[in-house]
Amino acid sequence: MERVDIAIIGTGPAGVSAALTAANRNKSILLVGSRDMSEKVVKAHEIRNYPGLPSVKGTEMAAAFRNQLEAMGIRITEGRVGAVYAMGDYFALQIGEEMPEAKAVILATGVVTAKPLPGEKEMLGRGVSYCATCDAPLYRGKETIVVGFSPREEAEAAFLSEVCSKVTYFPVYSEETNLPEKVAVIREKVTGIEQKDGKRIVRTEAGEYAADGVFVLREAVAPDTLVPGLETNGAHVAVDREMRTNLPGVFAAGDLTGLPYQYVKAAGEGNVAAISAAVYLDTKKKEDK
């Protein structure tokens, strides 16, 4: 896979805006997200203050963005970025088993508003994982539990059920599940995760469930988990007015950078981040000569 100029992570208004502007600046891009666009956008009943799209439904905004990307020849790479590694001169993105490379990165993943589950942070990498595609091989023939925060996570649980001896799924949402029969669905409020007797234990309001591995799957992961070394303020990435983070070559835009959580604010920041990334690349190129 060729090394692109700018990897853009997220397909909400910030990511879409960054992609449009980066493409306009003749930068090669890798736009990682979902062809369903941002779940938050799609779920919006009506957006009344986005200039240019009067009283638009979330689904209409998502369709408008998708069509605009297509018209510009910008492809969405379906996937979830598990981690971004700074490799000195470039960045490597872990997307499932792929490791595409980029010279600069724009984080537009949205914000994680939910607090982590008790025990989740402590056990991350020790029996708790955020990426089924990445870590499924560790649990071949073993038992796993999936805590899914949106219906989109069901695909991951279904995939795990092909590999694991048993998969138990806890939906943290009200929609009906649509999962293979092999996956046991339990609707109980998850209250925490812990270690016990060499097993991972998921506690709920009603009981305890043991497994070899636990997957906690959300649309967005905490930014400092995604990019080691990233400076954050709580759930937000620290940025300046140019959308630069503390890491050279890493920019952020949208809800991830802080309040207000507004569509046009996110789109504006995506634009600024793309221009800052382009300037960063152009300056670097000159310096390298």
Report the interface residues with a second copy, using CB under 8 A: 13, 16-17, 20-21, 23-24, 48-56, 61, 64-65, 67-68, 71-72, 239, 241, 257-260, 262, 264-272, 275
**Taking the CA atoms of the chain, what radius of gyration do you get in angstroms?**
19
Tokens 């408008």 belong to residue: 64
The overall longest dimension of the chain from CA atoms, in Å, is 64
Count of alpha carbons within 13 Å of 172, Cβ hemisphere only? Answer: 19
Distances (CA, A) of 228 to 2, 91, 110, 225, 284: 24, 12, 17, 6, 22
How far is Cα 20 from Cα 158, in angstroms, rounded to an integer? Answer: 34
DSSP, res 244: B
- When the beta carbons of 90 and 261 are compared against a second copy, the nearer one is 261
Least distance CB 70 / a second copy (angstroms):
10
* Shortest CB 56 distance to a second copy, Å: 8
Q: Which is nearer to a second copy, 109 or 271 (CB)?
A: 271
| Closer to a second copy by Cβ: residue 96 or 268 | 268
**What is the three-class DSSP state of 147?**
strand
Q: Which two tokens stand for residue 48?
A: 């009344």
Q: How far is CA 186 from CA 53, 94, 138, 209, 251, in A?
A: 41, 30, 23, 10, 39
**Closer residue to a second copy in complex, CB, 221/272:** 272
Nearest approach, Cβ of residue 23 and a second copy (Å): 8
Q: Which is nearer to a second copy, 204 or 262 (CB)?
A: 262
For the bound state, the minimum distance from the C-beta of residue 104 to a second copy, rounded and expressed in Å, comes to 16
CB of 42 to a second copy, least distance (A): 15
Distance CA(55)–CA(61), nearest Å, equals 10
DSSP state of 177: P
Closer residue to a second copy (CB): 153 or 255 = 255
- How far, in Å, CA of 20 to CA of 6, rounded? 12
DSSP H or E run through 114: none
CB of 273 to a second copy, least distance (A): 10
Residue with Cβ nearer a second copy (31 or 214): 31
Instruction: Examine residue 260 and say whether the peptide bond preceding it is cis (omega within 30 degrees of 0).
Output: yes
Report H helices in the chain. 13-24, 39-43, 58-71, 120-123, 132-135, 154-163, 223-226, 263-288
Give the whole-angstrom CA distance, residue 41 versus residue 9: 16
CB of 58 vs a second copy, minimal distance in Å: 12
Comparison of 44 and 267: residue with beta carbon closer to a second copy: 267
- Smallest separation (angstroms) from a second copy to the CB of 88: 28
